[in-house]
Amino acid sequence: MCSPAREPLVPDVLPADQAARIREAFPDLDGVSAEFAGAGWDHDTWLLGHETLLRVPRHPVDPGYFTREAAFLDLLGRHTTVNVPEVSHLSADASLLGYRALLGSTLTDAGLATLSTDQFERVAEHVATLFSEVQAIPAEETGQLDPIVRRGIDHVERLQNGIEQQLRGVIPDRDCDAFEQFLPKLGETIDTAPLQVVLHGDFGLDAVVTDDQTGQAGFIDFSDWAIGDPAGDFGGLTWSAPELAEAVLDRYRLKTAAGDVLARARVYNKMIAAGLMIHAQIGADISIEDARADFLGRFGLV
């Protein structure tokens, strides 16, 4: 049988340098359609041939850039019952990563607000299942995957350096001082967590893909997976979707062992807001003004 005709890469959408890298690494993707699917702070994501999501760094990266994430996704596929990406393409130098697109679209604040009660409960159940199954993975199984263990001192030192190098003189001293005064509490919260588990690492609504047709939810963006406090995966939800965070916690299998998850998660969403200002200064796809507005809200400084 003849293969169906394929649409060419869209030259005015896909940058020429990225298109060339894709063609060289993956001949099977040469000539397929390309649709912009989103951007991380350091990479773009393209939907190629209507079925493959390919993540492409915007700037040169070291070989092995996606090795850690690809290996984790392989491990994840053996331990979870929810929909997660399955790697289909990994370049020889591991600087490009592709997987079959999950059905549906990324969940947004507006999309969450329009869910029916049944849909909301299904999403909560799927998120709780993801957290419960990922966090049940024995940490020793990640030993060969270059795990990052979250320690208070690492976060405190990194954020302290970010304040001095990126924020002093850019935002008011009052804001920098509030950020600095928060750091000891952050470090203590990280180091006194009752459990250390495997985490998604950067969970928020934008990591949830929902499909209206099937009612299923899938999950993406595991590049920041780590070992740490289980409350870390609730951090983004407690700010943007507190009702969902509560519903997930009700269904969460480690609820008792994990202690006061939501209280610690509120500390972590402050960390997210503060850290976002630093990322805004070093290339994240957000303005320092917008990042600061979020920071002021989370720290009660408005």
pLDDT digit string (tens) for 23-60?
Answer: 999 999 988 999 998 877 678 899 999 999 999 998 88
Name every residue whose Cβ is closer than 8 Å to that of residue 103 and which is 6 or more positions away in sequence.
83, 209, 211, 213, 214, 216, 218
Least confident piece of the model among 158-162, 169-173, 234-238: 234-238
- Distance (Å, whole) CA 195 – CA 227: 10
Query: What pLDDT does residue 11 have?
Result: 36
CB 257 within 8 A of CB 136: no
Query: What pLDDT does residue 59 have?
Result: 84
Mean pLDDT, all residues of the chain: 92
- Please report the domains of the chain, with CATH numbers, ordered by start residue: 1-62 (no CATH), 105-298 (3.90.1200.10)
CB 129 within 8 A of CB 82: yes
CB atoms within 10 A of CB 298: 18
Name every residue whose Cβ is closer than 8 Å to that of residue 258 and which is 6 or more positions away in sequence.
194, 195, 230, 231, 252
pLDDT more than 70, % of the chain:
96
pLDDT digit string (tens) for 131-158?
Answer: 999 999 999 999 999 899 999 999 999 9
- Measured in residues, the chain has a length of 302
pLDDT confidence band for 274 (50 / 70 / 90): very high
Q: Which two tokens stand for residue 21?
A: 């890298």
Q: What are phi and psi of 107, to 5 degrees?
A: -75, 135
Q: How many helices (H) and strands (E) does the chain have?
A: 10, 10
- Distance (Å, whole) CA 248 – CA 151: 25
Pairing of strands 52-57, 43-48: antiparallel
Query: What pLDDT does residue 4 have?
Result: 36
pLDDT digit string (tens) for 222-266?
Answer: 999 999 999 999 998 988 899 999 999 999 999 999 999 999 999
Q: Which two tokens stand for residue 188?
A: 């203590």
Q: Residues 85-112: what's their mean pLDDT?
A: 95
pTM of the entire predicted model: 0.88
Query: What pLDDT does residue 6 have?
Result: 36
pLDDT more than 90, % of the chain:
80
Query: What pLDDT does residue 161 have?
Result: 98
pLDDT digit string (tens) for 199-228?
Answer: 999 999 999 999 988 888 999 999 999 999
What is the DSSP-derived secondary structure letter of residue 59? S
Q: Is 289 exposed, middle or buried (0-12, 13-18, 19+ CB in 10 A)?
A: exposed
Has residue 281 got a pLDDT over 80?
yes
What is the DSSP-derived secondary structure letter of residue 195? -
What is the DSSP-derived secondary structure letter of residue 7? P
Residue whose tokens read 């180091």? 191
Q: Is 21 exposed, middle or buried (0-12, 13-18, 19+ CB in 10 A)?
A: middle
Pairing of strands 105-106, 208-210: antiparallel
Cα angle 290-200-228, degrees, rounded to a multiple of 5: 100
